[in-house]
Structure 1
Amino acid sequence: MKAEPESRFENGIDVRFSIDDLRAREKPEGWDGIRAYAARNHMRNMNAGDKAFFYHSNCKEPGIAGVMEIVKEFSEDKSARRPGTPYYDPQSSKDNIRWSLVHVEFRKKFAVPIGLKELRELGKPGGPLENMMMLKQGRLSVSRVSAEEWKALNEIADEKAKEAGLKHEMTKLVK
């Protein structure tokens, strides 16, 4: 799931959001503003307890910054119906709910992010990410990650941390 850690304005409102912003939240955060049907549909298939990578997008060094957990399954993204909000959609109404959100909580910030250049290398033919949806549909802000991709990426993150002599920052809930 992608978010932008550097300032970007929509309807005059800064929509920047980083893994550090999520870590600072004291209650679950609604992952709102998704305005692509394919991304919305991926969120509608998420279950409480599912984990997701937090990907920093549209910034100096894009890449996977850590992990979050889906703590509340999809519900209406009501901001779509509120004029003046960053992602207002005049075609969305109570009778025509077009957009959804899920609620997430911080679980882990990688000690060393997995950058986009590295992800692309891993996505080459024969690599562990050769079929990764995010690399094939890069503009999509929410996409599926297979169990094999999830395992490979977490192992890579652990190895990068070990090589750097660092530890991931984790929520107290994670064992």
Structure 2
Amino acid sequence: MPNWLMKSEPDEFSIHDLQRLGTARWDGVRNYQARNFLRDMQPGELFFFYHSSCPLPGIAGIGRIQGAAYPDPTALDRDSHYFDARASAEKNPWSAIDVAYVEAFPQVIGLSLLKAQQALLELPLIQKGSRLSVMPVSDAHWQAILALRY
């Protein structure tokens, strides 16, 4: 079963928000490759919840994919930051997915610590120029990251 990493700015949506809600819609992805990864996700798969664009960027916990991807309603909402004037109810190029809370780590596994791990050198997250908000994580990388959480 594939594993994933999904990024969110914690002042917009954090692992603690997901913990409080239990389940939520993951929306607002506006990169085609990241959107395609969303569409590849299957119910039950796990993802690392990554806090980005904050004082301590890093992996804050784990979530679970709840269902198949579906058209992202924020693309049609004129009041949404993620509104896309090119999208319509008949042709919405963007996808969202429902996720559930699994675990918040006691401490964020910081990006600098991730970059210092020999076992993670090929992790797409730490590759120069990698800015995707949704990406796959290999089983080996998943296990190496889990070993850092305590």
Bigger relative contact order, structure 1 or 2, given CA contacts below 8 A and separation 6+? 2
Match of 1:135 in 2: 126
In 2, the alpha carbon distance for the partners of 1:19 and 1:135 equals 21
C-alpha offsets along residues 92-151 of structure 1, whole Å, 9 cap, x if unaligned? Answer: 1123221001110110011122101011112xxxx1111111122531111110011011
Show the counterpart of 2:147.
Answer: 155
Q: CA RMSD in A?
A: 1.1
Query: Matches of 1:115 and 1:156 in 2, distance apart?
Result: 10
Larger fraction in strand:
2
4+ residue runs over 4 A deviation: none
Q: How is 1:43-122 mapped onto 2 (pairs within 5 angstroms)?
A: 43-122=38-117
SS of 1:73 mapped into structure 2: coil
Unaligned runs of 5+ in 1: 7-15, 162-175
Report whether the alignment pairs 1:29 with 2:35.
no
Q: Which residue of 2 aligns with 1:166?
A: none
Question: How many aligned positions are there?
Answer: 144
Match of 1:5 among 1, 6, 10: 10
**Do the aligned residues in 1 keep the contact of 2:51 with 2:60 (CA within 8 Å)?**
yes
Identical counterparts, % of pairs? 38
| Cα distance in 1 for residues equivalent to 2:60 and 2:14 | 9
Scaled by the length of structure 2, what TM-score is found? 0.92
In 2, the alpha carbon distance for the partners of 1:33 and 1:88 equals: 9
Distance in 1 separating the partners of 2:28 and 2:78: 13
